[in-house]
Amino acid sequence: MALKCKKCGSEDIINAVITEDTIGEIVAVEYRCRHCENRCVFNLNKDEEEETRRCSEYFDGWMNYILGIDPGYANVGWAVISQRHEHVELVASGVIKTDAGMEEMHRYRVIDRNVWGIVSHYEPNIAVIEGLPPNKHQNKQTEIAGARGVILDVLAFWDIRCNGITLVEISPTEVKKLITGKGQASKEKIGEYVKLLLGLDEPLKPDHASDAAACALAYLIKEGVLK
């Protein structure tokens, strides 16, 4: 069993800070409970086998929060997935929309603020963003590239502020191939596999949110976490 919050008993703990002695052995772990915001310190007694076992189980049971992003100018799909070992679960998902009547900089500002709100609320430690789609019109490519730049800037700032987010880029073709086994799969087929992998009763909607979840799941498949 993984370590639990000393205040509420939750195992959903994040932002671990490890203290080592002069020879590099772990002597303490400080972490924060996502459930009650309590900060806990676990002091490792190196002389007791039980304490060593518990510390090892803590790291073995670490939970990842993966933010998948389907970037766009009018619609930015996002999905947060929790993962511990081979168990994955959808935490939240949605779409950031920008109105075509807005000025360009205002639309990018909407994306910036909403992405910041998502990462600051869910505190993902991994972010997977889809690369530029092939065969798009030049204007569309430019718009999506601009949105991706805004999103990457937010993630970079979050990384600096919170000291640790793994940023992964994955191409649309690779997402399709990893999820369905075919690099030219339809959105409907991707949605079916996302539903299956996440154990959902219905396909995830809207499609942009499903595509974002597919990015996160494709990363886990590529890493060998999911089969």
Catalytic residue IDs: 70, 130, 208
Name the token pair of 180.
Answer: 């369905």
d(CA 43, CA 19): 9
d(CA 174, CA 221): 11
CB 212 within 8 A of CB 172: no
CA separation (Å) from 88 to 13, 182, 225? Answer: 16, 22, 10
Question: Does the N-terminal peptide bond of residue 206 adopt cis geometry, omega within 30 degrees of 0?
Answer: yes
Q: Left, alpha or beta for 146 (phi > 0: left; psi -120 to 50: alpha)?
A: alpha
| Dihedral of the alpha carbons of 150, 194, 123, 19, in degrees to the nearest 10 | -120
Name the token pair of 212.
Answer: 């974002």
CA angle 55/67/177 to nearest 5° reads 110
